[in-house]
Amino acid sequence: MENFIVSARKYRPATFDMVVGQDSITNTLKSAIKNNHLTQSYLFCGPRGVGKTTCARIFAKTINCSNLKENGEACDKCESCISFNTLRSFNIHELDAASNNKVDDIRSLTDQVRIPPQVGKYSIYIIDEVHMLSSSAFNAFLKTLEEPPSHAIFILATTEKHKIIPTILSRCQIFDFRRIRIEEIVQRLMYVAKNENVTAEEEALHIIAQKADGALRDALSIFDQIVSFSGKTIHYKDVIDNLNVLDFEYYFDTVDKALEGNVSSVMLIFNEVLEKGFDGHNFVAGLNSHLRDLLVSKDEITIRLLEATPLIKQKYLKQAVKSPVDFLFKALEIGSECDLAYKNSKNQRLHVELSLIKMCIIVPETEPAVEKKKSDTVLVNERVMQLKAPLNSESVNQTIEIHENKISHHQLIPHKPEPVKEKESKTVSIKNIIAEEPEQYKKSEISKQIPVENIRDTIESQFNDASFLAAWKDFSSEVVPDSPRVASMFKSIKPELQNGDAVLLHLSNAAQKDMFTQNYKQKLINFLERRFDSKKIDIDTIVDLSETNEILYSDEQKYNYLAGKYPIIKDMKRSFNLDIE
């Protein structure tokens, strides 16, 4: 019986071309060897399982090769390559800094560096997990690292570059290894499966690649585990059962039922997930990831951000078509809030269920709004066409009747126990019409209080006391519904016409003046210019203090008044030793 060799060792790359997902680094190293631009120290940093130590060994082997190939790879035939492949090379030294992190270990290394190589040109020292060295060991290593013998090359490897002191970093050429993409891991797993005579579904290998989180070594270890579990045939179901991964069909079903507003089905799906032993937090995180994938599937530009097999991509594209963007945004917001607050919740199951219920009621809230918006746009366009045509009472009444019918039609909202009541109106507002009318129709001001039949009579030619007061009354009636405070202010304002086109407004206090100047002055100017077809009307304000009845009382006067009315206040002041402020 042959000894089993794990795939991570059996299929460890032996050449630069076999390294997965690090093309820029391997090309740079091959070019440096080919052009003889070798520095004294290198630092390979990156997450676990991405090829740092593997590239260091290949680099060390290729440096001493006496018969390089044209593509920059080692020949595997010379004495140096053969000794490396048979693990008896004396030119390559590996040190584990995790267990040899003291000053004495580094001193022993510096003494060894002085010895020249017996075969080949260079002695290569690979120090793995170099961030584990102590501060004293780093300091002892500095001088040797900066000025080693000409035959010595150091290759440092680490997963935590931030723990290495800057004086070491400044003496090295730094290569940052990236996480390996899911597609690259899947391709490598398919290659391994083919060589091992294993039949594997692409979806199953894709789940393994996702679980590996960018580390090819982890993916190969998981692959061996699945082969031990399922034999020579790997199915998607076997992978999710063995790795305790939630089937993506649960997420598709959840979104489908949420789009239908089917709360009961969504609750049952979540209950089934919990009964299978999955954590609610993992379900929420997976659902958020699923919603994100649906969102990127809505646009051809972002579809490349979706990491899935062609079969799964088709399912995402199909569901993305029937998922409104507003729904996805709102559902992602709800899911993110649930994810953040999950750990602090006392009843975590109820917390997730409430979030799922919120997702189910998104569609009834957003769809009528979209329809209403479309109907309003159509109505405005129809109103503009009415203004362009000669106006008569019959056509205006028909327009109002059409408007009322559209409102009553959109009151029939599905999934609501009661219809939503729209505010009915038989007057036409100028606000929506002016926004889309041609310029020649913008001077027609139709207030909320002016009937549609009198649209042509709103522009007056003379600007005098009577016409101004009438215009002021119309303007006040428009803005009064804003709030009771505004109504009180306009009731107290006394308008006065001066010097033809100048208007003076008498206000009761400075607060009224500030409110009118900031919020209503420019509106009044625009209203008057449209009303009287004038190019310039000046409006000035003045605070008339003689007309205010307000009297300012001091704190002591207020206290004496209250103390006379309520004697208990004197006792409170005396008991608590209070001051009058």
Per-domain boundaries in the chain:
7-176, 182-243, 249-360, 368-454, 459-547
Q: In this predicted model, what pLDDT tens digit does every residue of 249-297 receive, in sequence order?
A: 899 999 999 998 899 999 999 999 999 888 899 999 999 999 999 999 8
* CB 78 within 8 Å of CB 91: no
Q: Which has the minimum average pLDDT: 114-118, 161-165, 385-389, 540-544? A: 385-389
Residues 6+ apart with CB under 8 A from 61: 74, 80, 81, 84, 92
Q: In this predicted model, what pLDDT tens digit does every residue of 56-106 receive, in sequence order?
A: 999 988 998 888 888 888 888 888 888 888 888 888 888 888 888 888 888
Average pLDDT, the chain: 78
pLDDT band for 535, please (50, 70, 90 cuts).
Answer: low
Does position 247 have pLDDT exceeding 80, yes or no? yes
The reply to whether CATH 1.10.3720.10 applies to domain 182-243 is: no
Q: In this predicted model, what pLDDT tens digit does every residue of 353-394 receive, in sequence order?
A: 999 999 998 854 444 444 444 444 444 455 445 444 444 444
Does position 430 have pLDDT exceeding 80, yes or no? no
Q: Which CATH architecture has domain 7-176?
A: 3-Layer(aba) Sandwich (3.40)
Does position 420 have pLDDT exceeding 50, yes or no? no
- Helices and strands counted in the chain (H then E): 26, 10
What are φ and ψ of residue 539, in 5° steps?
-125, 125
Give 249-360's CATH code, choosing from 1.20.272.10, 3.40.50.620, 1.10.150.80, 2.40.10.220: 1.20.272.10
**pLDDT at position 409, please?**
43
pLDDT band for 154, please (50, 70, 90 cuts).
Answer: very high
The reply to whether CATH 3.30.300.180 applies to domain 459-547 is: yes
Average pLDDT of 33-50? 90
**pLDDT at position 359, please?**
92
What does pTM read for this prediction?
0.57
Q: Comparing 440 with 282, which gets the higher pLDDT?
A: 282
